Amino acid sequence: MIAIILTALVIAIHLYIVVLEMALWTTPTGRSAFGLTEEFAKQTKTLAANQGLYNGFLAAGLAYGLWRGADGREFVIFFLACVIVAGVFGAFTASRKILFIQALPAAAALGAVLLGR
C-alpha cells in the first residue's frame, strides 16, 4: 500500500510538472516555479512543452503500471528508475532542487516497491 501511495505521489508531481511546462511556462506561476525571466520563458516555450510531454510519458507509464496491479510491477520499477535518472541528471545540469522534488520521491517509491510494501 505504501508503494502505491508513493508511486501515486510521483505521478501527481509529474502531472503538475506537465502543467507547469506545457501550459504555464510563460505565466507568472510557471516563471516563478523555474526562476525564469519573461524573455527567457518566451524563448524556450517550445522546448519546455517538449520537456513537459516527456514528464507526461513518465506519469503515464507509472499510472499504467499501477493500473495493471501485480502484473505492472516491472513497469512501475522501470518508470521509477527513469524518474530517478532524470532527477539526478536534472540536479547536475539544471537545479539541485530537482533531486529533492523529482528523484527523492521516486527513490522512496522504488524502495517501497522493491521491499514489497
Cα(31)–Cα(44) distance, integer angstroms: 11
Task: Give the Cα-Cα-Cα angle 54, 50, 93 (nearest 5 degrees).
Answer: 75
Predicted pLDDT of residue 20: 96
Cα(87)–Cα(65) distance, integer angstroms: 20
**CB-CB contact of 16 with 115 (8 Å):** no
Q: What are 44-66's pLDDT values in tens digits?
A: 999 999 999 999 999 999 999 99
Predicted pLDDT of residue 4: 96
69: cell is 496491479
102: cell is 523529482
Mean pLDDT score across all residues of the chain: 96
1: cell is 500500500
**CB-CB contact of 59 with 83 (8 Å):** no
- CA dihedral 18→21→22→28, nearest 10 degrees, is 120
Predicted pLDDT of residue 117: 75
pTM for the whole structure: 0.92
In order along the chain (117 residues), what is the average pLDDT of each group of 10 residues? 96 97 96 95 96 96 97 97 96 93 97 92
